[in-house]
Chain A
Amino acid sequence: MGDAIVESLTQVFSFQSLVLMLVGVVVGFAVGILPGLGGAVTLALMLPFTTGMEPVQAFAFLLGMLSVTATAGDITSVLFGIPGEATSAATVLDGHPLTKRGQAGRALGAVLSAASLGSAIGAVVLVLAIPVVRPLVLSFGPAEFFALTMLGLTFVVALSSGNMLKGFIMAIFGVLVAMVGIDPQEGVPRYAFGELYLWGGIGLVPLVVGLFGGAEVLQLMLSKQSIAREDVAARDFSGIGQGVRETFAHWWLVIRSSAIGVGVGMVPGVGGSVAQFLAYGHAQQTSKHPEEFGKGSIEGVIAAGAVNAKESGSLIPTVSFGIPSGAASAVLLSAFLIVGLDPGPDMLTKHLPVTLSMAWVVILANFVAVAVSFLLIRPLARLTHIRGTYIVPVLIMLLVVGAYTASNNFADVLVMLAASAFGVVCVRWNWPRVPFLLAVVLGSIAERYLFLSYSLYGLEWLTRPPVLIIALIIILTVVRPLLRNALRRRAEQDTPQKTGARS
């Protein structure tokens, strides 16, 4: 193992590998900031350039690019409320409210430092987990994966603990939206109303872009003011250091969110946006100030950033078993074949230095990206003090490009518009958007695992020990906020009575 570590470090720090990684970081940074180009799509576009490269060089280029897209996507989420990537959507919830208070530097400092720490933790876990993770992953079947998706949906409830019933209704509406399209079981078009576009389902990217970005643009148009408060000096960036310090102060939250990122990243078919919302929900549940979430909680920002560890998590099943956990790792899998590697046991023995080099690349690329981001924070944050009406045209173009490039269909723009209208209604009358979005992401995944579980085990899947354990966690997740609310109300009712008795 020691020799492999030294060999992998030597290969990563070779001139060609470093240059290729930096090129990858630059491309990934641009992709993360610009909407419309997802990490998976860009990875696919760059794949042909890896032909003829050494394995470590190819992965330095590809992983360097992939691992910084989410980090860079967090920047637009914080500054403009428009996620550069679907996997940066949860960063909007608290990062953007902080920007509005003139604390963009603090929010960016926190999210970027949390992202780099998260990626480092994820890479360490990748190295440590590979030998031990194989039996664990193989013991998990569709039933356990279904239970995990249900757990994800239950966290949704925690996200709207202030109004749980609204959260439930929005989550169910999200499941209904996820059902749109061709049913994988019987091939029936569901809720398609004869429209061919709807056979493929509602695209996640236009939905996310509209739900969060659309409301933001309309708000700027209506208020005609800057994103950040005008009474806060544009040059006050002392918050950057404060954000970084707060990330280190919340080190335990960083570790837990990174663990969620790695864990969810490993689960095939779940994906990064789910990991981010799960980490966010967990942070809210365990916070001493859950009421601040959605209004500018630094813990929410840190949790959303630290989940960057998911990139390393997604590499674990890809490298160990050749099972991609998402679209990006599926594209990455083809890179293995291009450079002549066979994912599986060989990656843990014969090609161990290549596997280890992936971890170093993820760590190094993220630190480079974060360093570049810190250099760019000041000019980027100044944009939030420009009068809103001057930013509106650019933001509308980003919305359109982000939505249209999902499938190069004008119907995506219409979906984005519908999502924007829905987002405005949600914001105006305080209906939670996150449960809806997470249910859209998880709905079809849950359905797939449900039918697989039934086909494989009948109804006995309900009695599998891991399923029962996860079910117990689900019950606790639902009951805990209910109990907390009930106790709080009782305390509030008791207080005036006691005060009245004293007087």
Chain B
Amino acid sequence: MTLSSHRRNAPANPGGTVSAPGTAPPGRDAGPVADIVITCVLGVIFVGGFLLALQWGFRASLVPSLACGLGVVLSLGHLAVLLVRRTRAAGGDPVRHEQAHEEAEADLPQDAEYVFATAGAAAWRSNLAWLAGFFVVLYIAGLIPAAVLFTAAYLKKGAGASWPLALGYAVVLGLLLWLVFVLLLAIPMPEGLFS
């Protein structure tokens, strides 16, 4: 199956959270800039790691120092490569443009990279808020209450499920967690602040 047929066959997008598969991902142009930022961040981490390692004795600091030193050198090298590519791309280097086009074409609508690149800011905000909410409740109330609350609320509000389905799913999931992990396997679960 060709790439174009993949795109033709791409599923409908009921949530409207990801841009249409046939269109170019809007975040693509950010790729080189993001690479530069990530390289810089890692470079700073390597420098920080090297400085911290200087405080330890020889045996404790040898491998971290070597790793961080090499990391700084490679980060600088990568940064130089990225800046040269950026300059060439700005000058209209056809080879680079072609490579970038091929990279963009390589992703299918099911690929995580495509989904992350095309998801709108509102979708990112709402889903990260759901996750943040779940982990806050998990920390406060423990796993099973968080599981029941999150499942019911997320399925109803986030997925558009009916109340009976959302509540039934939440109760069954909570019961299963309790039966399998607590009763049967006796695995410790996050119990929250009030345990």
B190 touches A224 (CB 8 A): no
B63 touches A186 (CB 8 A): no
Chain A interface residue count, CB cutoff 8 Å, equals: 64
A277 CB-CB contact with B under 8 Å: no
CB-CB < 8 A to B53: which residues of A?
190
B105 CB-CB contact with A under 8 Å: no
Residues 167-210 of A at the B interface (beta carbon under 8 Å) = 168-169, 172-173, 175-176, 179, 183, 185-186, 188, 190-191
CB-CB < 8 A to B123: which residues of A?
222
A400 touches B31 (CB 8 A): no
A429 touches B155 (CB 8 A): no
Which residue of chain B has its CB nearest to the CB of A165? B78
Residues 379-393 of A at the B interface (beta carbon under 8 Å) = 387, 389-390, 392-393
A487 CB-CB contact with B under 8 Å: no
A224 touches B78 (CB 8 A): no
Which residue of chain B has its CB nearest to the CB of A227? B110
B2 CB-CB contact with A under 8 Å: no
Which residue of chain B has its CB nearest to the CB of A229? B110
Annotate B126-155 by CB proximity to A: 1 below 8 A, 0 otherwise.
010011001100110001000100110011
Instruction: Choose among A188, A191, A230, A417 the residue that contacts B57 (Cβ–Cβ < 8 A).
Output: A188
Which residue of chain A has its CB nearest to the CB of B49? A176
A404 touches B189 (CB 8 A): yes
CB-CB < 8 A to B155: which residues of A?
389-390, 393
A408 touches B74 (CB 8 A): no
A393 touches B67 (CB 8 A): no
Q: Kindly specify which of A213-221, A338-346, A351-359, A465-473 makes contact with the partner chain.
A: A213-221
A417 to B154 CA separation, bound complex (whole angstroms) = 19
Give the 7 A-B CB pairs with smallest separation, nearest first.
A389-B159, A224-B15, A185-B59, A100-B110, A393-B151, A183-B60, A230-B11
Q: What are some 19 contacts across the A-B interface (CB < 8 A)?
A: A97-B111, A165-B78, A172-B68, A173-B42, A175-B63, A176-B45, A176-B67, A179-B63, A185-B59, A188-B57, A188-B60, A401-B143, A401-B177, A404-B188, A408-B188, A428-B113, A429-B31, A429-B34, A429-B35
**Chain A residues engaging chain B, CB cutoff 8 angstroms:** 34, 36-37, 97, 100-101, 165-166, 168-169, 172-173, 175-176, 179, 183, 185-186, 188, 190-191, 215-216, 218-219, 221-226, 228-231, 295, 387, 389-390, 392-394, 396-397, 400-401, 404-405, 408, 410, 413, 417, 424-425, 427-431, 443, 446-447, 450-451
Taking A389-B154, A394-B173 as known contacts, 14 extra A-B pairs with beta carbons closer than 8 A to each other, sorted by chain A number, are A97-B111, A100-B111, A175-B67, A176-B46, A183-B60, A222-B17, A231-B11, A393-B150, A400-B190, A413-B190, A427-B113, A428-B27, A450-B63, A451-B59
